[in-house]
Amino acid sequence: MADVSRETSSSDDHIETATEIIQRIFSDGTAGVGSELAQTQAEQDEVNKSKFSHPSQTRYIAVANQKGGVGKTTTAVNISAALGEGGLNVLVIDMDPQGNASTALGVRHDEKSPSVYDVIIENTTMADVIQTCEDFPTIDVVPSNINLSGAEIELTQLNDPMHQLKDTLRTYMATVNKHYDYVIVDCPPSLGVLVINALCAVHEVLIPIQAEYYALEGLSQLVNTIKLVQESYNPDLAVSAMLLTMVDNRTILSKNVCAATKEHYPDLVLDTVISRSIKISESPSYRQSVIAYDPKGRGAVDYRKAALEINNRSEDVIRLLY
């Protein structure tokens, strides 16, 4: 066991960083929690050195996967929070009647609050329903509430049911006195009209994949739907990234799923994976992203790294897809 009693590493003037102290204390690798802490701190230091840059034009990203509970909302919220924390302007659109993204970003979304339902069904302008996230004031949110659950049927009675979100979003973007770096849409777990509205309004799809046994099942169905939307409605649409979520590196299954997904989609799967973390699952009950709730923890560090990776790819993605 390393000498944990020393306060400083040597007699020279070098002042140890927090990472170095943790690494020194746990350098013999006997303490799992300690070495995990050291790694998180080292990664945090690395992320802190990197800066988020403004993409040369607004990136429109839908976070989608028809499978329930794979981390879509957690990803939409925390990637947005990391980008917002990094000084970028983000518009988050909650397209799920569950309103989970609205909860996690701390905006009002009771039945009486103006929401995305009013925007796509009642022609209310987006500016009239947008609320700003308190934790990260560069994040604006179009909230959702239970009213949206009836919208699937109501949309089909409209003239152009698939383009309601796109039309209203484009009008807002053309008139608002502000530049957004990212528009991020959280989709519900289906391949219905609401999701197709989201896919028509964006250029990119970010697919969160839960690191578990059935992870890749259903993915081909999602990819087919994206192709269909591309052929019929939105030729500019493509999957730009996949993100492995709820990864537990202690299990062989989790490692195998990550390896298999990377093998199938080598260019799309982000290098960063999101570890399973209690703080991530706790944060929505405090109406917060994990970036705000536990800024130094594993979950926040993972999502910052993922957001940086997405941000660093901006110019390549824009050249290819916009």
Contact residues for Mg ion, defined by CB under 5 A: 72-73, 100
CA dist 91 and 140 (Å) reads 5
CB 116 within 8 A of CB 91: no
Choice between 127 and 146, CB closer to Mg ion:
146
CA dihedral over 284, 285, 288, 292, signed as positive or negative: negative
Q: Which residues, including other chains, have CB under 8 Å from residue 235's CB and lie 6 or more apart?
A: none
Half-sphere exposure (CA, 13 Å, Cβ side) for 314? 16
Q: How far is the CB of 76 from Mg ion (least distance, A)?
A: 8
Of all residues in the shown chain, the one whose CB is closest to Mg ion is 73
Hey, what are 122's tokens?
A: 């009642």
Q: Does 189 bind ligand ATP (CB under 6 A)?
A: yes
Q: How far is the CB of 171 from ligand ATP (least distance, A)?
A: 27
CB 202 within 8 A of CB 62: yes
Nearest to 198 by CA among 169, 231, 176: 169
Cα 69–Cα 74–Cα 80 angle in degrees, nearest 5: 150
- Residues 206-245 touching ligand ATP, rule: CB under 6 A, are 245
Binding ligand ATP (rule: CB under 6 A), the pick from 29, 69, 87, 137 is 69
Q: How far is the CB of 100 from Mg ion (least distance, A)?
A: 5
Q: Does 280 bind ligand ATP (CB under 6 A)?
A: yes
Choice between 25 and 193, CB closer to ligand ATP:
193
Return phi, psi of residue 221, to 5°: -65, -40
Consecutive H or E run containing 244: strand 238-245
Count how many residues are written for the chain. 322
Choice between 23 and 245, CB closer to ligand ATP:
245
Site string for ligand ATP, 95-114 (x = CB under 6 A): -x-x-x--------------
Q: Does 72 bind ligand ATP (CB under 6 A)?
A: yes
From the list Mg ion, ligand ATP, none, pick the one residue 274 interacts with, judged by a Cβ distance below 5 to 8 Å according to partner type.
ligand ATP
Return phi, psi of residue 70, to 5°: -95, -5
14-22, 54-62, 94-102, 159-167 -> range binding ligand ATP (CB under 6 A):
94-102
Choice between 89 and 100, CB closer to Mg ion:
100
CA dist 153 and 4 (Å) reads 64
Number of residues in contact with ligand ATP under rule CB under 6 A: 20
Q: How far is the CB of 190 from Mg ion (least distance, A)?
A: 11
DSSP conformational letter for 106: T
Binding ligand ATP (rule: CB under 6 A), the pick from 23, 73, 89, 164 is 73
Q: How far is the CB of 81 from ligand ATP (least distance, A)?
A: 13
Q: Does 277 bind ligand ATP (CB under 6 A)?
A: yes
From the list ligand ATP, Mg ion, none, pick the one residue 133 interacts with, judged by a Cβ distance below 5 to 8 Å according to partner type.
none
Choice between 25 and 92, CB closer to ligand ATP:
92
Q: How far is the CB of 85 from Mg ion (least distance, A)?
A: 21
Choice between 86 and 297, CB closer to ligand ATP:
297
Sheet holding 139-142, edge to edge: 131-132, 139-142, 90-94, 182-186, 59-63, 204-210, 238-245
Nearest to 48 by CA among 24, 13, 18, 89: 18
Q: How far is the CB of 144 from Mg ion (least distance, A)?
A: 10
Residues near ligand ATP (CB under 6 A): 68-74, 96, 98, 100, 188-189, 245-246, 274, 276-277, 280-281, 284
